[in-house]
């Protein structure tokens, strides 16, 4: 077996080092507040990782636990506190549209997760900067961004091509089309030039910028294709199905593919996938946390620049 297993720890190491150096050399202390209003084990684990990585890089992290019924008021308090530079909420809280409402209660200038409507809209529309002068990059939701960084690290992005087109020619299957990860990820990858098969429980859509990348932003078309049609074509397979029973059928994976799992469950059979994949990334959580902190430093700079102006 010649499969290379790449761990999130290794992928995130250079980002953590970069953050540590920026924070130390500039002698800054950005503060992130995380709100935990549920006892979901995945959220608790995510909060623990956030605390650990922040301690390592020099970010001040405060976990505020509260009941979900007072969460909105607590977010507003943090929005108004000039000593808080970034805010995040461990979802799901209500598990329905109320969570979407809460994502927009977080002030856009402090939204380290990039879940505010403005950032989500800009991402879908391939608007990469917040200002006309193109000095302030938009915040990108941290799990999809983390997955982009994983793909850059393992060499799926082609650095010879211009920025914005570096996935031209790549075919990627993303198994998950949630609003938090799968759909934004499919859009980001298609905006960067890939042809993406976005798979959910009901079917498959294709996200792309057309032949020769003639479109400025991706478009979506419905397909009647099945997983058995798209997996053998895919250079990269990314999966995030939240079920311990779900396994991507290894026999359909193309020889030499890149396989990435972001579900908390192992969506690939570890032994089988190593017989087919060139590169296997079993989890990405640590990269997500590094992106969260990277977004925080960016927002810290935007806030302090606008205070100084
Ligand atoms: P979700 O329940 O909102 O979405 C699940 C998606 O998977 C849906 O699009 C659904 O249609 C699809 N799906 C379910 N069963 C399927 C099947 N049999 N075939 C094809 N598609 C199927 O969940 P979510 O919030 O997107 O989270 C998914 C997983 O990713 C969870 O395990 C979560 O903990 C994990 N997650 C990880 C990170 C990270 O940084 N590592 C971040 C967010 C979520």
Within 10 angstroms of residue 27's Cβ, the number of other Cβ atoms is: 7
Q: What is the pLDDT of residues 207-223, one digit of tens each?
A: 999 999 999 999 999 99
Q: Detail the DSSP E strand segments found in 80-217.
A: 86-89, 171-175, 195-200, 203-208
Domain ranges of the chain: 10-110+287-308, 144-285
Respond yes or no: is residue 142 known to be catalytic: yes
Catalytic residue among 3, 54, 138, 142: 142
- What is the number of helices (H) and of strands (E) in the chain? 10, 11
**Amino acid 94: pLDDT:** 95
DSSP state of 82: T
The architecture that CATH gives domain 10-110+287-308 is: 3-Layer(aba) Sandwich (3.40)
d(CA 244, CA 249): 14
E strand or H helix at 175, and its extent?
Answer: strand 171-175
- ipTM of this predicted structure: 0.95
> What would the mean pLDDT of 118-124 be, rounded to a whole number?
93
Q: Whose CA is nearest to atom 30 of ligand 1?
A: 263
Residue 309: pLDDT over 70: no
How many Å is the Cα radius of gyration of the chain? 19
Q: Is the separation of the CB atoms in 86 and 31 below 8 Å?
A: yes
Residue 242 CA: nearest ligand 1 atom is 32
> Strands 86-89 and 203-208: what pairing?
unpaired
Angle at 167 between CA 297 and CA 256, to 5 degrees: 110
**Amino acid 305: pLDDT:** 83
Which fold would CATH assign to domain 144-285?
A: Rossmann fold (3.40.50)
> What value does the mean pLDDT of the chain take?
95
Residue 11, classed as helix, strand or coil, is: helix
State what percent of residues in the chain have pLDDT above 90.
92
Length of the chain: 309
* 10-110+287-308 shares its CATH topology with 144-285: yes
Structure tokens at 238: 């990314």
| Residues in Cβ contact with 270 at an 8 Å cutoff, skipping those fewer than 6 apart | 280, 282
> What would the mean pLDDT of 287-301 be, rounded to a whole number?
96
* Ligand 1 pocket, CB under 6 A: 42, 143, 146, 175-178, 180-182, 199-201, 240-242, 246, 262-265, 284-285, 288
State what percent of residues in the chain have pLDDT above 70.
99
Angle at 124 between CA 241 and CA 200, to 5 degrees: 25
Q: Which of 225, 249, 262 to mutate to test the pocket of ligand 1 (most atoms within 8 A of CB)?
A: 262
Q: Which of 89, 141, 198, 200 to mutate to test the pocket of ligand 1 (most atoms within 8 A of CB)?
A: 200
Q: What is the pLDDT of residues 231-240, one digit of tens each?
A: 999 999 999 9
d(CA 79, CA 47): 20
Structure tokens at 138: 């938009």
DSSP state of 20: H
Residue 254: pLDDT over 70: yes
**Amino acid 228: pLDDT:** 98
Q: Minimal CA–CA distance to 28: which of 95, 94, 85, 78?
A: 85
């Amino acid at each position: 077996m010649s499969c290379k297993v790449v761990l999130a720890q290794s992928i995130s190491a250079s980002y953590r080092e970069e953050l540590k150096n920026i924070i130390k050399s500039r002698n800054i202390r950005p503060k992130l507040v995380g709100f935990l209003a549920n006892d979901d084990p995945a959220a608790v684990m995510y909060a623990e990782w956030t605390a650990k990585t922040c301690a390592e890089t020099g970010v001040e992290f405060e976990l505020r636990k509260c009941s979900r019924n007072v969460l909105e008021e607590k977010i507003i308090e943090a929005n108004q506190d000039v000593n808080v530079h970034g805010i995040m909420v461990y979802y799901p809280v209500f598990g329905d549209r109320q969570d979407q409402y809460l994502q927009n209660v977080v002030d856009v200038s402090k939204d380290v997760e990039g879940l505010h409507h403005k950032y989500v809209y800009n991402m879908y529309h391939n608007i990469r900067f917040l200002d006309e002068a193109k000095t302030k990059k938009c915040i990108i939701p941290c799990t999809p961004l983390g997955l982009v960084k994983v793909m850059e690290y393992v060499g799926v992005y082609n650095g010879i091509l211009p920025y914005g087109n570096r996935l031209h020619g790549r075919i990627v299957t993303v198994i998950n089309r949630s609003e938090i990860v799968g759909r934004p990820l499919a859009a980001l990858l298609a905006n960067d030039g890939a042809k993406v098969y976005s798979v959910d429980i009901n079917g498959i859509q294709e996200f792309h910028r057309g032949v020769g990348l003639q479109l400025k932003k991706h478009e979506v078309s419905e397909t009647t294709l099945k997983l058995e049609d798209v997996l053998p074509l895919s250079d990269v397979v990314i999966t995030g199905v939240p079920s311990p029973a779900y396994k991507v059928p290894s026999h359909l994976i193309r020889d030499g593919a890149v396989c990435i799992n972001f579900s908390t469950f192992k969506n690939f059979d570890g032994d089988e996938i190593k017989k087919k994949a060139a590169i296997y990334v079993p989890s990405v959580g640590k990269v997500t946390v590094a992106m969260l902190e990277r977004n925080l430093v960016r927002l810290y700079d935007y806030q302090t620049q606008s205070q100084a102006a």
